Amino acid sequence: MSTQFFHQDERFVRDFGVLSQFGATENGGVHRLAGSAADGEQRRWFTELLESEGFRVEFDQVGNQFGLLELAAGAPYVVVGSHLDSQPTAGKYDGAYGVLAAAHAAFRLAAEWRSTGAVPQYNLAVVNWFNEEGARFKPSMMGSSVYTGKMAATAALAVQDPDGVTVSEALQSIGCMGSGTGPTAAYCAEIHIEQGRSMERDGVTIGLVDSNWAANKYEFVVHGEQSHTGSTVIADRKDALLGASMLVVAAREIADRFPGVLHTSVGQLNVYPNSPVVVPSRVNLLLDLRSADEAVLAEADQLLHDRMLEIEQAADVRIEKGSSHCWPVMPYQPEGVDLAEKAAVDLGLSYRKVKTLAGHDSTNMKDIVPTVMLFVPSVEGISHNEHEYTRDEDIVAGLHMLTDVVRRLCDGELDARNS
């Protein structure tokens, strides 16, 4: 590694420290909900960083932030990035690492092309997708869903947070409401922390993501009847919170029947009227089941639905299934995995193929263009937590890896395979 490269790595780690100050929490994490003041501040900083390196910054119709380098006139773009928004009291690596690594990879390639005079096959776009987390505005992966045509921009802009603020209002308030549909993509790449502990356990530095887990995500509404917590006899109660609690417990019991291969959870649960002395009449909750094995998922789903009928009887409630969002195991393009493997071999980085359990913007992007998704290890698998951590040597190795992958994509290395 050249001295210059070593300095560039130091600068990357330093820039990551600066980025982590936006919305920093007392316990070393960040709190940067999509469209919040902290999100606006980091976006302004990121614009300045990109512009200082000669990239032109533009926002599209749904607040996706692009840093554009156009060297091949009229050619489409290799789009590389992730998201800067976070969950509440979350870790500083999730998303943010991938955005800054994309920027630094792009800066290195731009410098290379300047110094050699080479012209790549494709132009280069660094991206910070809007609202990947879905914590404030549902659904998650909003910006990349609009970009890939899976969600209408008008529908996304009208979504309200719990205080009634729309996406449109939030984007305007932080000065990030743009127009148009952004640059046209030819290929996509993203790097992210694993958020699990399998790579750390196996001692590999780079994960080549070859597919995502299948998932069934459900919104349930448990309907009971308001009554008095003191005076209503137990036999007369239709307690929506009891029914909802039985559902939360059932989800875990089902996961325990498929150890290691099924993940279930309820992350959000809201009670009405939520008053100390009123038996709740309504609980809304979001429950999801995930597995890499579609047969396991189907069996677990059937168990859940069987349990729902039992719970309706036992708690004297009615369980309504609201919106659902289900997807199968879907591969990333194998030629992209092969390209990433070559890069890892050339760089001498340890690697193995992994699956992503979480959703990412790249899971949207892979449905419209060949997409390479890379992981670096998460210490103890901790994520969506202020103590999320990835070692500096791993975030730097990931940056080298991403730089090489993006260089190959810009050079058209996948074109032959796709022609």
Cβ proximity to a second copy, 90 vs 373, nearer residue: 90
**For a second copy, what does the binding mask look like between residues 189 and 208, x meaning CB under 8 A?**
-----xxxx-----------
CA dist., res. 419 & res. 417, Å (int): 6
Cβ proximity to a second copy, 249 vs 330, nearer residue: 249
CA dist., res. 363 & res. 365, Å (int): 6
**Residue burial 162-181, b: 16+ Cβ < 10 Å; e: rest:** eeeebbbebbeebebbbeee
Q: From the CB of 39, what's the least distance to a second copy, in Å?
A: 15
Q: From the CB of 344, what's the least distance to a second copy, in Å?
A: 21
Pairing of strands 214-223, 263-272: unpaired
From candidates 277, 348, 416, 419, binder to a second copy by CB under 8 A: 277
Map the footprint of a second copy across residues 20-79, applying CB under 8 A. none
CA 308 to chain centre: 30
Pairing of strands 330-331, 206-212: antiparallel
Map the footprint of a second copy across residues 212-271, applying CB under 8 A. 213, 215, 217, 225-234, 236-237, 239, 241-242, 244-246, 248-249, 252, 255-256, 259-260, 262-271
Residue 260's φ and ψ, nearest 5 degrees, are 85, -20
Map the footprint of a second copy across residues 138-157, applying CB under 8 A. 138, 140
Q: From the CB of 228, what's the least distance to a second copy, in Å?
A: 4
Q: From the CB of 367, what's the least distance to a second copy, in Å?
A: 19
Contact call for residues 65 and 57 (beta carbons, < 8 A): yes
- Return the residue matching tokens 């999509």: 34
CA dist., res. 69 & res. 283, Å (int): 49
From candidates 154, 275, 323, 324, binder to a second copy by CB under 8 A: 275
Residue length of the chain: 419
CA dist., res. 91 & res. 24, Å (int): 9
**Tally: H helices and E strands in the chain:** 13, 15
Q: From the CB of 265, what's the least distance to a second copy, in Å?
A: 4
Q: From the CB of 284, what's the least distance to a second copy, in Å?
A: 11
Sign of the alpha-carbon torsion through 109, 113, 116, 119:
positive
Pairing of strands 77-83, 185-193: parallel
Map the footprint of a second copy across residues 288-307, applying CB under 8 A. 288, 290
Interface segment toward a second copy; rule CB under 8 A; list 145-153, 283-291, 339-347, 401-409: 283-291
Query: What is the size of the binding site for a second copy (CB under 8 A)?
Result: 75
Map the footprint of a second copy across residues 80-109, applying CB under 8 A. 87-90
Map the footprint of a second copy across residues 305-364, applying CB under 8 A. 356-359
Q: From the CB of 119, what's the least distance to a second copy, in Å?
A: 40
Which of the 8 DSSP states describes residue 58? E
From candidates 274, 302, 350, 418, binder to a second copy by CB under 8 A: 274
Q: At what angle do helices 334-347 and 392-410 cross, to 10 degrees?
A: 120
From candidates 381, 391, 413, 415, binder to a second copy by CB under 8 A: 381
Q: From the CB of 295, what's the least distance to a second copy, in Å?
A: 19
- Does 209 sit near a second copy (CB under 8 A)? no
Q: From the CB of 235, what's the least distance to a second copy, in Å?
A: 8
- Does 133 sit near a second copy (CB under 8 A)? yes
Order of strands across the sheet that contains 282-291: 263-272, 282-291, 214-223, 318-327
